[in-house]
Structure 1
Amino acid sequence: MSETPETLRARAEIDLGALRANVRALRRRVGTDVQVMGVVKADAYGHGAVPCARAALEGGATWLGTATPHEALALRAAGIDAPVLCWLWTPGGPWRAGIEARLDMTVSGLWALEEVTRAAREAGRVARVQLKADTGLGRNGCQPADWPRLVGEALKAQSEGLIRVTGLWSHFACADEPGHPSITAQLDTFHEMLAHAEKAGVEPEVRHMANSPATLTLPETHFDLVRPGIAMYGVSPSSEIGPAADFGLRAVMRLVGSLALVKNVPGGHGVSYGHHYVTERETTLGLVPLGYADGVPRHASGRGTVLVGDKVRTVAGRVAMDQFVVDLGGDVVEPGAQVVLFGAGDQGEPTAEDWARAADTIAYEIVTRIGSRVPRVYTDVTPTDVTPTDASHASGT
């Protein structure tokens, strides 16, 4: 028997209309001379990579970004032809497949340049390569001291017809902390590394550095292209930046469950593992069939909130693997009643940011951790948003 969205144990409702509107809002913010790359890594931050990639393009994004090459190749397998940059390569990666799929592949060191040029020779095709500069984040990217050699070797490979250097880019460490001194320091370093590469002869199609917080608050960092990730999904990068709604952005994901059980219990009754919550008086308990295996953070035990009917309730006791409990305070609620864990917040429901504070983490983690047991139900769907394999959980509402 097929289930309808309303009868599912739980569902993550993904509003593709909100995603398209968010991309349009971001485009307005950066202006017509700056392109937008929709970042869809980590299964589009838990929202579903292929439908969200298509919606982002419909909203005006001209590039897509992924972390791993396999994420990028999956977009190509789904028939998406837009430019795609992927940046997290490891030795022995699928360089030739990336070349044949016309991916833009990030090179941060000589080992990667050697592997991509070897794959280009084998494929008999030119590889599209973007050089990444480590301007101070200390993760991926080439250190300034090693930059001249990497640029020189890349230009040599380009002169041999093996690669085309299509981009120069970097990434901020603290753009979500307005005024942090590293922001200016990194930007200055990027300008210096750009100047060296371009003086040496690199003519990139795009230069880019701005992630979500920089896209929203640092126009001097926009260059040719910005790379919004979490902002595209209507979630604020940080409390210091301010609520997403302040930037005209709306949450794309709404996590909903249904009460599996409602029962009366006496005062002094322990709830869930460890009895960290004990009822003060006779009350009603509601069982929510979602747990940490579904992505509900155990660290939010006793602190996370949900909306049941028109009242916000707090998680009572520990979040378990498959379920948690809320104290309904004696109210009569029927099994099957809707429970909203988080959404846009405009109907009184908690937001992903609320859950992040309850779990002492960031909202990025809240949305990306929602597991595969929770079906994604797509709303405001256009014919190009959803593949046939997604259709069973798509809705045109």
Structure 2
Amino acid sequence: MTQNAPFRARAEIDLAALRANVRALRARAPRAAVMAVVKSDAYGHGMVPCAKAALEAGATWLGTATPEEALALRAAGIRSRVLCWLWTPGGPWRAGIEADLDLAVSGLWALREVTRAAREAGRPARIQLKADTGLGRNGCPPADWGELVAAARAAEEAGTVRVTGLWSHFACADEPGHPSIAAQLAVFKDLVAYAEKEGVEPEVRHIANSPATLTLPETHLDLVRTGIAVYGISPSPELGAPADLGLRPVMTLKASVALVKHVPSGHGVSYGHHYVTDRETTLGLIPVGYADGIPRHASGRGPVLIGDKWRRVAGRVAMDQFVVDLGPDGGNTVQEGAEAVLFGPGDRGEPSAEDWAEAAGTIAYEIVTRIGARVPRVYIDEQ
């Protein structure tokens, strides 16, 4: 799809902004390698184009959640280091080994499966041991760390694996001063020291996510894993707006106004009539809805820039569309085909993804990630 073609809706992805964000993150962590996390289709931005742009800007690692995402990067011809961390029993371990992925291991069951796959593949697997230092999600608990390290060292001695990394993940790095940050870092350093005393020689030790990369230099270690910041979104309002952090939002979501009509006072709008006009007015129909990723929880609150004015969703967001009240004179200034900007970097005064997150009672991560596949991505400033 070309940038200027007629459209129902589109998400414009500014790859120049993405590259600038990666360079800004590299400057924040000058002694660490940078991993660009491209899971969930690069947070809704398009995995392969964004991965290539991040590597062009100096990222040397990519990160994915699922093995299918990591294998898709390889199928696209991307040969950088890729860490994949969300494995389930019976996963495609052998394919991951043969694709030269770095495979996260959080427990003995995973180590057993990866070593078996390595024997079948006839080559050692690159693995990274993940520790649960306090997030309580994936990762090996400290009480079980010694057993996992011992088993991994035995597998190294047998030639079935090579431990390339030790890592963990913060729970509250987006909350400045939270006591768990220092506690998790101390636990991680202890677990790394233990593993190294037992003979593990990792290439990289890493715990810093986007907020830690931006605000906690003591956590940078050998590698920083940057996700949402790559796409120019602040990890949390408490850390500052994107511009305060040297970042620029990469996605701009637009739609074309599909219908403009005049209605009388007392006219109900959308399902349930949660919005009823209080005067004669003009309504504008925006042809995107929750099937496109527009949060229904933003009904009555979600902001849209049409012309030079912010409008709000009038009534409920439906599956494929929502309505805005353009005001009594709206029909004089807005016509069918007019551009409606739901969010973007703010250059034209448009709302941000954070504004939609506030309207929906969620976080900006969810706003960009949920934009669906039927909204085409249009890539700007591709190299």
TM-score exceeds 0.5: yes
1:200 matched residue in structure 2? 198
Code of the residue aligned with 1:380 in structure 2: it is: D
Partner-residue secondary structure (3-state), 1:74: helix
SS of 2:13's equivalent? strand
In structure 1, the gaps of 5 or more residues are: 383-397
Q: What amino acid maps onto 1:78 in structure 2?
A: A
Amino acid at match of 2:10: R
Q: Deviations over 1:211-237 (max 9, x none)?
A: 111111111110000001000000011
C-alpha displacement of 1:8: 1.1
CA deviation profile, 1:42-84 (whole Å, cap 9, x unmatched) = 0000000000000000011000000001100000000000000
Q: Per-residue CA shift, 1:257-312, capped at 9, x if unaligned?
A: 00000000111111111111111111110000000000000000001100001111
Please give the per-residue CA displacement for 1:364-385, whole angstroms capped at 9, x wherever unaligned.
Answer: 0000000011000000011xxx
Aligned-partner SS, 2:285: strand
Q: Give the letter for the 1:346 counterpart.
A: D
How many residues are paired up? 380
TM-score, scaled relative to structure 1 = 0.95
Partner of 2:13: 14
Q: Give CA deviations for 1:142-188 in whole Å, capped at 9, x if unaligned.
A: 00010011001101100111100000000000111111111111011
C-alpha displacement at 1:244, in angstroms?
Answer: 1.2
Could you state the TM-score of these two structures normalised by the residue count of structure 2? 0.98
1:21 deviates by 0.4
Question: For residue 17 of structure 1, what is the amino acid of its counterpart?
Answer: A
Counterpart of 2:29 in structure 1 is 30
- Note the 1:231-310 alignment, pairs <5 A: 231-310=229-308
Tell me the distance in 2 between the aligned counterparts of 1:358 and 1:248: 25
Where does residue 334 of structure 1 map in the other structure?
335
Superposed structure 1 runs of 4+ greater than 4 Å apart:
2-5
Query: After the TM superposition, which residues 1-397 of structure 1 pair with which residues of structure 2 at under 5 Å, given as runs?
Result: 5-31=4-30, 33-330=31-328, 331=330, 332=332, 333-382=334-383
- Please list every run of 5 or more consecutive structure 2 residues that lacks an aligned counterpart in the other structure: none
Contact 1:102–1:128, Cα closer than 8 Å, also in 2? yes
- Give yes or no for contact 1:5–1:11 (8 Å, CA) kept in 2: no
Q: Is the 8 A contact 2:2 2:378 kept in 1?
A: no
Amino acid at match of 1:318: R
- SS of residue matched to 2:113: helix
Contact 1:11–1:257 (8 Å) recurs in 2 = yes
Deviation at 1:5, TM superposition (A): 4.3
CA distance in 2, matches of 1:3, 1:52: 18
* CA–CA distance in structure 2, aligned partners of residues 8 and 159 of structure 1: 58
- Structure-1 separation of matches of 2:241 and 2:198: 43
Give the 3 Å change call, closer, same or farther, for CA 175–4 of structure 1 in structure 2: closer
Equivalent position SS for 2:94: helix
- Name the Cα RMSD after superposition: 0.9
